[in-house]
Amino acid sequence: MKKVLVGTSLILGLWGAGSGCTGEGGAGGRGGTVIDPSELKASVALGDVELSWVKSSKPASRIVRAENAMPKGPDDPMATVVYEGAASTASEPLRNLVATTPDMPRTYHYAVYGCDAPGSCGGRPATAELAVTIGQALIGGGYNLVWRHAEAEVCEDAFQLGTAAETSSPGWWKSCDSNCATATARQLNATGISQAEQMGLAIKNRGFPFGRVLASEFCRCMRTAELMNLGPAVEPNQDITGFAYDEGNRCANTMSLVATEPPPGTNVAIVGHAGHQCGVLDALQWGEAAIYKPDGSGGSIYITRVDSTGWASLQ
Protein backbone atom coordinates (compact mmCIF):
# COMPACT_ATOMS: atom_id res chain seq x y z
CA MET A 1 0.00 0.00 0.00
CA LYS A 2 1.35 3.40 -1.00
CA LYS A 3 2.17 5.62 1.97
CA VAL A 4 0.96 9.22 2.05
CA LEU A 5 2.32 11.74 4.50
CA VAL A 6 -0.41 13.10 6.76
CA GLY A 7 -0.25 15.87 9.33
CA THR A 8 3.04 17.37 8.14
CA SER A 9 3.96 20.47 6.19
CA LEU A 10 3.82 18.35 3.05
CA ILE A 11 0.16 18.75 2.22
CA LEU A 12 -1.68 18.67 -1.06
CA GLY A 13 -1.13 21.89 -2.97
CA LEU A 14 -3.86 23.89 -4.67
CA TRP A 15 -5.11 22.67 -8.00
CA GLY A 16 -6.73 24.86 -10.60
CA ALA A 17 -6.74 25.98 -14.16
CA GLY A 18 -3.60 27.86 -15.08
CA SER A 19 -1.90 26.88 -11.83
CA GLY A 20 1.72 27.36 -12.76
CA CYS A 21 1.85 25.74 -16.22
CA THR A 22 5.14 26.17 -18.02
CA GLY A 23 5.98 26.35 -21.67
CA GLU A 24 3.82 27.61 -24.53
CA GLY A 25 0.64 26.14 -25.90
CA GLY A 26 -1.11 25.57 -22.54
CA ALA A 27 -0.90 22.39 -20.53
CA GLY A 28 0.46 20.46 -23.45
CA GLY A 29 3.52 22.69 -23.75
CA ARG A 30 4.86 24.14 -26.98
CA GLY A 31 2.90 22.76 -29.90
CA GLY A 32 1.18 20.17 -27.71
CA THR A 33 4.47 18.52 -26.65
CA VAL A 34 4.52 17.55 -22.99
CA ILE A 35 7.48 18.95 -21.10
CA ASP A 36 8.56 16.74 -18.18
CA PRO A 37 9.68 18.12 -14.82
CA SER A 38 13.39 18.75 -14.37
CA GLU A 39 16.11 19.87 -11.95
CA LEU A 40 14.75 18.25 -8.79
CA LYS A 41 16.92 19.17 -5.81
CA ALA A 42 16.78 17.75 -2.27
CA SER A 43 18.77 19.20 0.62
CA VAL A 44 18.75 19.31 4.42
CA ALA A 45 17.92 22.66 6.05
CA LEU A 46 17.93 22.35 9.85
CA GLY A 47 14.93 20.16 10.69
CA ASP A 48 13.53 19.80 7.18
CA VAL A 49 14.24 18.34 3.77
CA GLU A 50 13.79 21.12 1.22
CA LEU A 51 12.71 20.17 -2.31
CA SER A 52 12.62 22.31 -5.43
CA TRP A 53 12.13 21.54 -9.12
CA VAL A 54 11.22 22.99 -12.50
CA LYS A 55 7.62 22.05 -13.21
CA SER A 56 6.41 20.14 -16.20
CA SER A 57 3.91 21.51 -18.71
CA LYS A 58 1.18 19.79 -16.68
CA PRO A 59 -0.70 21.81 -14.04
CA ALA A 60 0.74 20.06 -10.99
CA SER A 61 3.36 17.66 -9.66
CA ARG A 62 3.65 14.62 -7.44
CA ILE A 63 6.83 13.77 -5.50
CA VAL A 64 7.37 10.26 -4.21
CA ARG A 65 10.23 8.92 -2.10
CA ALA A 66 11.72 5.45 -1.63
CA GLU A 67 14.60 4.15 0.49
CA ASN A 68 17.63 2.61 -1.24
CA ALA A 69 15.79 2.25 -4.55
CA MET A 70 14.38 4.54 -7.19
CA PRO A 71 10.55 4.72 -7.12
CA LYS A 72 9.07 2.56 -9.87
CA GLY A 73 6.54 5.20 -10.80
CA PRO A 74 4.18 7.81 -9.36
CA ASP A 75 1.95 5.06 -7.94
CA ASP A 76 4.70 2.79 -6.59
CA PRO A 77 3.04 1.04 -3.60
CA MET A 78 6.39 0.86 -1.79
CA ALA A 79 7.04 4.60 -2.10
CA THR A 80 5.82 7.46 0.08
CA VAL A 81 3.94 10.38 -1.47
CA VAL A 82 5.74 13.45 -0.17
CA TYR A 83 3.84 16.13 -2.07
CA GLU A 84 1.14 16.59 -4.68
CA GLY A 85 0.01 20.01 -5.87
CA ALA A 86 0.67 23.01 -8.07
CA ALA A 87 3.81 24.41 -6.43
CA SER A 88 7.44 23.99 -7.46
CA THR A 89 8.83 23.77 -3.92
CA ALA A 90 7.96 21.59 -0.93
CA SER A 91 9.45 20.35 2.31
CA GLU A 92 9.09 17.42 4.67
CA PRO A 93 10.24 17.00 8.29
CA LEU A 94 13.70 15.50 8.52
CA ARG A 95 12.42 13.12 11.20
CA ASN A 96 10.54 11.25 8.45
CA LEU A 97 13.92 9.88 7.30
CA VAL A 98 16.39 7.63 9.11
CA ALA A 99 20.08 8.49 9.37
CA THR A 100 22.56 6.57 7.25
CA THR A 101 25.38 4.64 8.94
CA PRO A 102 28.34 2.60 7.67
CA ASP A 103 26.62 -0.58 8.86
CA MET A 104 23.26 0.36 7.35
CA PRO A 105 23.61 2.79 4.44
CA ARG A 106 20.38 4.61 3.61
CA THR A 107 19.89 6.72 0.50
CA TYR A 108 16.51 8.28 -0.17
CA HIS A 109 15.47 8.57 -3.81
CA TYR A 110 13.00 11.29 -4.74
CA ALA A 111 11.12 11.45 -8.05
CA VAL A 112 8.81 14.22 -9.28
CA TYR A 113 6.14 13.53 -11.92
CA GLY A 114 3.82 15.85 -13.81
CA CYS A 115 0.09 15.49 -13.08
CA ASP A 116 -2.93 16.28 -15.30
CA ALA A 117 -5.43 15.86 -12.48
CA PRO A 118 -5.35 14.76 -8.84
CA GLY A 119 -4.04 11.20 -8.78
CA SER A 120 -3.32 11.19 -12.51
CA CYS A 121 0.46 11.57 -12.80
CA GLY A 122 3.10 10.16 -15.09
CA GLY A 123 5.73 10.83 -17.72
CA ARG A 124 9.47 10.93 -17.21
CA PRO A 125 10.42 12.02 -13.68
CA ALA A 126 13.18 14.28 -12.46
CA THR A 127 15.08 12.58 -9.66
CA ALA A 128 17.32 13.41 -6.70
CA GLU A 129 19.08 11.47 -3.97
CA LEU A 130 19.67 12.31 -0.31
CA ALA A 131 21.54 10.57 2.53
CA VAL A 132 21.05 12.06 6.00
CA THR A 133 24.00 12.01 8.40
CA ILE A 134 23.51 11.25 12.09
CA GLY A 135 24.45 14.81 12.98
CA GLN A 136 21.84 16.19 10.59
CA ALA A 137 19.22 13.72 11.80
CA LEU A 138 19.61 14.65 15.47
CA ILE A 139 18.98 18.31 14.66
CA GLY A 140 15.65 17.27 13.16
CA GLY A 141 14.68 15.31 16.30
CA GLY A 142 12.86 12.01 16.59
CA TYR A 143 15.63 9.96 18.25
CA ASN A 144 16.07 8.39 21.69
CA LEU A 145 19.60 8.44 23.10
CA VAL A 146 20.45 6.00 25.89
CA TRP A 147 23.52 6.81 27.97
CA ARG A 148 25.39 4.79 30.53
CA HIS A 149 26.20 7.18 33.36
CA ALA A 150 29.62 8.85 33.39
CA GLU A 151 32.64 7.34 35.15
CA ALA A 152 31.79 6.38 38.72
CA GLU A 153 34.38 4.76 40.97
CA VAL A 154 33.73 6.46 44.31
CA CYS A 155 32.36 4.10 47.01
CA GLU A 156 30.16 1.03 46.40
CA ASP A 157 26.49 0.17 46.08
CA ALA A 158 25.04 -1.27 49.30
CA PHE A 159 22.93 -3.95 47.60
CA GLN A 160 22.66 -5.73 50.94
CA LEU A 161 20.18 -3.02 51.97
CA GLY A 162 17.68 -4.61 49.62
CA THR A 163 15.21 -3.48 46.98
CA ALA A 164 12.60 -0.78 47.39
CA ALA A 165 10.05 -3.41 48.36
CA GLU A 166 12.09 -4.89 51.20
CA THR A 167 14.66 -2.34 52.39
CA SER A 168 14.84 -0.86 55.87
CA SER A 169 16.70 2.14 54.37
CA PRO A 170 14.25 3.64 51.85
CA GLY A 171 15.91 5.38 48.92
CA TRP A 172 19.45 4.31 49.82
CA TRP A 173 20.28 4.12 46.07
CA LYS A 174 19.39 7.82 45.66
CA SER A 175 22.05 8.98 48.12
CA CYS A 176 24.76 11.31 46.81
CA ASP A 177 26.96 10.79 49.86
CA SER A 178 30.59 10.41 48.71
CA ASN A 179 32.03 9.69 52.16
CA CYS A 180 32.64 5.98 51.73
CA ALA A 181 32.39 5.40 55.48
CA THR A 182 28.70 6.26 55.30
CA ALA A 183 27.87 6.12 51.58
CA THR A 184 25.25 3.65 50.32
CA ALA A 185 25.76 4.07 46.55
CA ARG A 186 28.56 4.49 44.04
CA GLN A 187 29.22 8.08 42.92
CA LEU A 188 30.79 9.92 39.99
CA ASN A 189 34.50 10.59 40.32
CA ALA A 190 36.23 13.75 39.08
CA THR A 191 36.67 12.25 35.60
CA GLY A 192 32.98 11.38 35.44
CA ILE A 193 31.95 14.89 36.44
CA SER A 194 34.15 16.35 33.70
CA GLN A 195 32.87 13.74 31.20
CA ALA A 196 29.24 14.73 31.80
CA GLU A 197 29.95 18.46 31.59
CA GLN A 198 31.98 18.15 28.39
CA MET A 199 29.37 15.93 26.73
CA GLY A 200 26.68 18.48 27.49
CA LEU A 201 28.72 21.37 26.09
CA ALA A 202 29.52 19.47 22.88
CA ILE A 203 25.89 18.46 22.37
CA LYS A 204 24.62 22.00 22.92
CA ASN A 205 27.24 23.35 20.52
CA ARG A 206 25.86 20.99 17.87
CA GLY A 207 22.34 22.29 18.41
CA PHE A 208 20.74 18.89 19.09
CA PRO A 209 17.33 19.61 20.72
CA PHE A 210 15.98 17.58 23.64
CA GLY A 211 12.36 17.48 24.77
CA ARG A 212 12.79 15.15 27.77
CA VAL A 213 15.65 13.89 29.93
CA LEU A 214 15.03 10.69 31.94
CA ALA A 215 17.43 9.17 34.45
CA SER A 216 17.76 6.25 36.82
CA GLU A 217 17.22 7.28 40.44
CA PHE A 218 20.82 6.38 41.35
CA CYS A 219 22.71 9.58 42.11
CA ARG A 220 25.43 8.85 39.53
CA CYS A 221 22.77 8.77 36.78
CA MET A 222 20.88 11.81 38.01
CA ARG A 223 24.14 13.76 38.35
CA THR A 224 25.28 12.74 34.86
CA ALA A 225 22.01 14.03 33.40
CA GLU A 226 22.09 17.21 35.49
CA LEU A 227 25.69 18.01 34.59
CA MET A 228 24.97 17.48 30.90
CA ASN A 229 22.35 20.21 31.26
CA LEU A 230 20.50 19.43 28.03
CA GLY A 231 17.60 21.80 28.76
CA PRO A 232 14.59 19.98 30.23
CA ALA A 233 14.43 19.18 33.93
CA VAL A 234 15.73 15.69 34.70
CA GLU A 235 12.92 13.19 35.38
CA PRO A 236 13.77 10.32 37.76
CA ASN A 237 12.48 7.09 36.25
CA GLN A 238 11.95 3.86 38.21
CA ASP A 239 11.73 1.69 35.08
CA ILE A 240 15.40 2.28 34.21
CA THR A 241 16.65 2.29 37.81
CA GLY A 242 18.95 -0.65 38.43
CA PHE A 243 18.17 -3.26 41.13
CA ALA A 244 15.79 -1.22 43.28
CA TYR A 245 12.45 -1.85 41.55
CA ASP A 246 11.99 -4.32 38.69
CA GLU A 247 15.43 -5.53 37.67
CA GLY A 248 14.06 -8.49 35.74
CA ASN A 249 12.21 -6.19 33.34
CA ARG A 250 14.70 -3.30 33.24
CA CYS A 251 15.85 -4.13 29.71
CA ALA A 252 12.29 -4.49 28.40
CA ASN A 253 11.28 -1.27 30.15
CA THR A 254 14.22 0.59 28.66
CA MET A 255 13.51 -0.69 25.17
CA SER A 256 9.87 0.36 25.55
CA LEU A 257 11.06 3.91 26.23
CA VAL A 258 13.41 3.67 23.25
CA ALA A 259 10.44 2.75 21.02
CA THR A 260 8.40 5.76 22.18
CA GLU A 261 8.17 8.73 19.81
CA PRO A 262 9.90 11.82 21.24
CA PRO A 263 8.08 15.16 21.46
CA PRO A 264 7.87 16.82 18.00
CA GLY A 265 11.12 18.37 16.83
CA THR A 266 13.18 16.99 19.72
CA ASN A 267 15.11 13.99 20.99
CA VAL A 268 14.93 12.20 24.35
CA ALA A 269 17.91 11.52 26.61
CA ILE A 270 17.80 8.43 28.85
CA VAL A 271 20.61 7.99 31.40
CA GLY A 272 20.90 4.58 33.01
CA HIS A 273 23.22 1.66 33.70
CA ALA A 274 24.83 -1.30 32.03
CA GLY A 275 24.78 -4.74 33.69
CA HIS A 276 21.36 -6.00 32.62
CA GLN A 277 21.86 -8.29 29.60
CA CYS A 278 20.34 -5.85 27.15
CA GLY A 279 22.30 -6.19 23.92
CA VAL A 280 24.03 -3.00 22.82
CA LEU A 281 23.06 -1.20 26.02
CA ASP A 282 24.90 -3.71 28.18
CA ALA A 283 28.12 -3.06 26.25
CA LEU A 284 28.14 0.73 26.74
CA GLN A 285 31.18 2.19 28.44
CA TRP A 286 30.99 5.00 30.99
CA GLY A 287 29.54 8.09 29.32
CA GLU A 288 28.79 6.27 26.06
CA ALA A 289 25.40 6.51 24.35
CA ALA A 290 23.40 4.36 21.95
CA ILE A 291 21.09 6.10 19.48
CA TYR A 292 17.74 4.64 18.44
CA LYS A 293 14.84 5.78 16.30
CA PRO A 294 11.28 4.54 16.96
CA ASP A 295 10.04 2.56 13.97
CA GLY A 296 6.38 3.52 14.36
CA SER A 297 5.37 -0.11 14.89
CA GLY A 298 6.20 -0.54 18.55
CA GLY A 299 9.91 -1.17 18.05
CA SER A 300 13.02 0.83 17.32
CA ILE A 301 15.88 1.08 14.83
CA TYR A 302 19.39 0.97 16.26
CA ILE A 303 21.55 3.69 14.68
CA THR A 304 24.98 3.76 16.34
CA ARG A 305 27.02 4.23 19.53
CA VAL A 306 28.78 7.48 20.45
CA ASP A 307 31.49 7.58 23.11
CA SER A 308 31.78 10.43 25.58
CA THR A 309 34.28 12.33 23.42
CA GLY A 310 32.55 11.76 20.07
CA TRP A 311 29.83 14.41 20.02
CA ALA A 312 31.82 17.32 18.60
CA SER A 313 33.00 15.28 15.60
CA LEU A 314 29.84 13.24 15.00
CA GLN A 315 29.04 13.18 11.31
Domain residues of the chain, as ranges? 3-131, 138-306
- pLDDT tens readout for residues 265-313: 999 999 999 988 999 999 999 999 999 999 999 999 999 999 999 999 9
Mean pLDDT, rounded, for 133-149: 98
**Superfamily in which the 138-306 domain is placed by CATH:** Phosphoglycerate mutase-like (3.40.50.1240)
pLDDT grade, residue 224 (50/70/90)?
very high
- Residue with the bigger pLDDT between 224 and 1: it is 224
Q: Do 148 and 287 meet the contact criterion of CB atoms below 8 Å apart?
A: yes
Other residues' Cβ atoms within 10 Å of the Cβ of residue 233 = 8
Query: Long-range contacts for 165-171 (Cβ within 8 Å, ≥24 apart)?
Result: 171/217
H or E segment to which residue 226 belongs? helix 219-228
Q: Which pLDDT does position 167 carry in this prediction?
A: 98
Residue-averaged pLDDT of the chain: 92
CB 270 within 8 A of CB 147: yes
pLDDT in tens, 101-130: 999 999 999 999 999 999 899 999 999 999
Top pLDDT among 198 and 10 is at 198
- The number of angstroms, rounded, from the C-alpha of 23 to the middle of its chain's C-alpha atoms is 42
Q: What is the tens place of the pLDDT at every residue in 25-53?
A: 333 444 468 899 999 999 999 999 999 99
**Residue 2: is its pLDDT beyond 90?**
no
Could you read off the pLDDT of 232-268 as tens digits, one per residue? 999 999 999 999 999 999 999 999 999 999 999 999 9
So what's the pLDDT on residue 276?
A: 86
CATH number belonging to the domain at 3-131, selected among 3.40.50.300, 3.40.50.720, 2.102.10.10, 2.60.40.10: 2.60.40.10
Give the whole-angstrom CA distance, residue 131 versus residue 101: 10
Q: What is the pLDDT of residue 184?
A: 98
pLDDT in tens, 153-171: 999 999 999 999 999 999 9
Nearest to 42 by CA among 108, 102, 137, 86: 108
At 12 the pLDDT is 45
DSSP letters along 62-109, please?
Answer: EEEEEESS--SSTT-TTSEEEEEES-SEEEEEGGGS----SSS---EE
Question: What integer is the mean pLDDT of 93-101?
Answer: 97
Handedness of CA 293, 230, 263, 240 (dihedral sign): positive
Q: Is the Cβ–Cβ distance between 186 and 154 less than 8 Å?
A: yes
pLDDT band of 174, cuts 50, 70, 90 = very high
CB atoms within 10 A of CB 277: 9
* CA dist list (Å): 168 to 157, 164, 177, 186, 217: 15, 9, 18, 19, 18
